[in-house]
Amino acid sequence: MTGWGAGQRVRIGILTKVFTAELVDMAIAEYDRAEQRRRLLPARLVVYFVLALCLFARESYEEVLRVLTSGIPGSRALAQVNRSSLCRARARLGENVLETVFRQVAGPLATADTPGAWWRGLRLLALDGTQFDLPDSTSNGDTFDGPSNTGGVPFGFPQVRAVVLAEIGTHGVLDARLGGYRDGERSLAYPLAGSTGPGDLVIADRGFWSVEFAHTFTAAGADLLVRLQSNHLGTLQERLPDGSYLSMARPGKEVRLRASREGRTLPKHTTYRVITFSKDDKVVFLGTTLLDPEQYPAAELIALYRERWEIELAFDEIKNHLGPGGPIRSRTPEGVRQELWAYLSVHHAIRRFAHTAALAGPAVDADRVSYLKCVRIVRRSVPSQLGASMETLTRSLTEGRQEARSRLLPARRGRNCPRAVKKPNRWPVLRTRAKRGVVEPGRWILSQTKKAKTDRRAGRPVPKPTPTPP
């Protein structure tokens, strides 16, 4: 069997049940990325290779390809492929194929039997944004930008801003949008309304609420529970028996003009319910489109708002348990977006595996199935299921679910951890990014020359020589 034939037999372990060859080939054909001749690295192999890069985020290109193909007859030629060939293969594939793969596999996971995924008949969703650190390359810095100090001097790593819509009960990602560091989370969140519908309750943190934001999601049929800023309380209309009140707000002039230029129609006013409560001697305001105080009590909504933190755990799973815990590996903007779509796809597939394991016996909360354990099971399945048939993959998937349920995590206790800076910066000004400014790479802005070190030996000062008498 030739190297091309071996590439056609590549699988990605038990995740092949999610990323089937038919799904991958359909995404490749949609953007006409199929090879015109028999290549050593066919497009399907490259898709599985990019997904495997996320499973083995701390391994080199060559090692990931070796894990993905070793043991398949005819794969000896693939073992000799170098890093530059793999980089060019990723560039030929592009980012759209992986985005299509993600949108094909993403979607709601929770069923009626999923504990913690529903509240009074509403599916609980969380909406929030996060940043991913990128390699310090000039193209990444020019495209995505990053943090800078008060003088405008950039420092640290370039960053991608991602806004994600995820299920609270399963941590499964429904939809996401990627942008640069300077892009606002609210503007990136508007397209996510298309992935919601009637029966969904979207919980979001402070900074998202506006009349336009509420209209976008309610027009799709979803309800909102969002923390309000003090300038978004609107005008009091009616006080309700549970202590909350109905409020009304109108879109601003600039918002109306922008919507008119874009051909959109905004309502003249929006009515919503404001809930007030105290936390740590601070007054907190929640805004919701659930107006009935009897059907949706304020006390339950206040307790429900804490569930928004489940999406922070999903971000931790993507960045640290699955990812490298630092900057991702791609040094070009297209490669960055390709890799992030692959991370979201693999995370969703593993979350689907964990959810099915939670429901395989007596239904338990998906939080009690260790995500890191599921990641390890999937990683081990890649070299052991090379070229396996779908029947073998199905049997391995069943065994993996049983292993994931073998030792469940204890029920999560209610915790209240206030925000705190646990690792303060040692220096007041951080290192500049590559080719940004005149600071020499590796030096600090306020200290561009090496400091003179005191002459010490083993922590003791060296005695000064006694001057020789004249």
CA angle 223, 227, 232 (to 5 degrees): 95
Q: Tell me what the pLDDT averaged over the chain comes to.
A: 86
Is 382:67 a contact under the CB 8 Å cutoff?
Answer: yes
> How far is residue 205's CA from residue 229's CA, in Å, rounded to a whole number?
10
State the pLDDT at residue 329. 95
Per residue in 118-156, pLDDT (tens digit) is 999 999 999 999 999 999 998 999 999 998 877 777 878
SS (H, E, C) the chain: CCHHHHHHCCCCHHHHHCCCHHHHHHHHHHCCCCCCCCCCCCHHHHHHHHHHHHHCCCCCHHHHHHHHHCCCCCCCCHHHCCHHHHHHHHHHHCCHHHHHHHHHHCCCCCCCCCCCCEECCEEEEEEEEEEEECCCCHHHHHHHCCCECCCCCEECCCEEEEEEEEECCCCCEEEEEEEECCCCHHHHHHHHHHHCCCCEEEEECCCCCCHHHHHHHHHCCCEEEEEECHHHCCEEEEECCCCCEEEEECCCHHHHHHHHHCCCCCCCCEEEEEEEEEECCEEEEEEECCCCCCCCCHHHHHHHHHHHHHHHHHHHHHHHHHCCCCCCCCCCHHHHHHHHHHHHHHHHHHHHHHHHHHCCCCCCCHHHCCHHHHHHHHHHHHHHCCCCCHHHHHHHHHHHHHHHCCCCCCCCCCCCCCCCCCCCCCCCCCCECCCCCCCCCCCECCECCCCCCCCEECCEECCCCCCCCC
State the pLDDT at residue 443. 38
> How far is residue 423's CA from residue 222's CA, in Å, rounded to a whole number?
39
Per residue in 80-100, pLDDT (tens digit) is 888 999 999 999 999 999 999
Which pair of structure tokens corresponds to residue 28? 């490749």
Which pair of structure tokens corresponds to residue 308? 């928004």
Helix axes 96-105, 333-358, angle to 10 degrees: 20
State the pLDDT at residue 448. 40
State the pLDDT at residue 226. 97
Is 15:51 a contact under the CB 8 Å cutoff?
Answer: yes
Which pair of structure tokens corresponds to residue 388? 């396996």
Instruction: Please state whether beta strands 173-180 and 200-204 pair in parallel, antiparallel, or not at all (unpaired).
Output: unpaired
> How far is residue 322's CA from residue 348's CA, in Å, rounded to a whole number?
11
The distance from CA 390 to its chain's CA centroid, rounded to whole angstroms, is 30
**Weakly modelled stretches of the chain, pLDDT under 70:** 1-7, 74, 385-388, 413-470
State the pLDDT at residue 9. 77
State the pLDDT at residue 202. 98
Is 338:90 a contact under the CB 8 Å cutoff?
Answer: yes
**How crowded is the C-beta side of 86, counted as CA atoms within 13 Å?**
21
> How far is residue 229's CA from residue 50's CA, in Å, rounded to a whole number?
41
> How far is residue 314's CA from residue 75's CA, in Å, rounded to a whole number?
36
392 phi and psi angles, rounded to 5 deg? -65, -40
> How far is residue 57's CA from residue 372's CA, in Å, rounded to a whole number?
14
* Radius of gyration of the chain, Cα coordinates, nearest whole angstrom: 26
State the pLDDT at residue 373. 96
CA angle 183, 184, 189 (to 5 degrees): 110
> How far is residue 196's CA from residue 200's CA, in Å, rounded to a whole number?
6
State the pLDDT at residue 125. 97
* pTM, two decimal places: 0.87
State the pLDDT at residue 178. 97
Name the residue type at position 71.
Answer: G
> How far is residue 281's CA from residue 77's CA, in Å, rounded to a whole number?
66
